[in-house]
Amino acid sequence: MQAEVRTTLKTQLRRTLGPCVRFDVGLARYTSFRIGGPADIFVEPNTLEELQVLMRLVTEYGAPCFLLGGGTNVLVSDKGVRGVVIRLGRGFDYAEWGVQPEQTQTAQVRVGAGRSLGQFVREAARKGYGGVEFAEGIPGRVGGGLLMNAGAFGSELSEVVETITGVTHTGQSLRLSNPSIGFAYRTTALPPQFIVSEVVFRLRQKPRVSITSAMQQARKKRNRSQPHGYPNAGSIFKNPPGRYAGRMIEAVGCKGSRQGQAQVSEQHANFIVNTGGATASQVWRLIEQVQRQVWQEERVWLEPEVRRVGEW
What domains can be seen in the chain, in order of their start residue? 3-87 (3.30.43.10), 93-223 (3.30.465.10), 228-309 (3.90.78.10)
Q: pLDDT, tens digit, for every residue of 261-288?
A: 999 999 999 999 999 999 999 999 999 9
Just list the catalytic residues.
186, 235, 305
Contact 272, 232 (CB under 8 A): yes
* CA distances in angstroms from 194 to 197, 229, 299, listed in the order given: 9, 34, 35
Q: Phi and psi at residue 275, in whole multiples of 5°?
A: -80, 0
> For residues 9 and 15, what is the distance between their CA atoms, to the nearest angstrom?
10
> For residues 233 and 33, what is the distance between their CA atoms, to the nearest angstrom?
5
Query: Checking DSSP bridges between strand 95-98 and strand 272-274, what pairing results, if any?
Result: unpaired
Q: Is the pLDDT of residue 104 over 70?
A: no
Q: Is the pLDDT of residue 30 over 60?
A: yes
Q: Is the pLDDT of residue 101 over 70?
A: no
Burial of residue 197 (CB within 10 Å: 0-12, 13-18, 19+) is buried
> For residues 230 and 275, what is the distance between their CA atoms, to the nearest angstrom?
6
How many Cβ atoms from other residues are within 10 Å of residue 250's Cβ? 16
Question: What's the whole-number mean pLDDT along residues 23-38?
Answer: 97
Nearest to residue 154, comparing CAs of 185, 116, 129? 185
The pLDDT score that the predictor gives to residue 69 is: 87
Nearest to residue 310, comparing CAs of 81, 79, 28? 81
| pLDDT band at residue 103 under the 50/70/90 scheme | low
Query: Checking DSSP bridges between strand 258-259 and strand 173-177, what pairing results, if any?
Result: unpaired
Higher-scoring residue by pLDDT: 309, 69: 309
> For residues 21 and 48, what is the distance between their CA atoms, to the nearest angstrom?
15
Higher-scoring residue by pLDDT: 50, 150: 50
Q: Go through 95-114 and write b for each residue having 16 or more CB atoms within 10 A of its CB, e for each that does not.
A: beeeeeeeeeeebbbbbbbb
Q: pLDDT, tens digit, for every residue of 79-91?
A: 999 999 999 999 9
pTM, rounded to two decimals: 0.88
Nearest to residue 74, comparing CAs of 287, 290, 226? 287
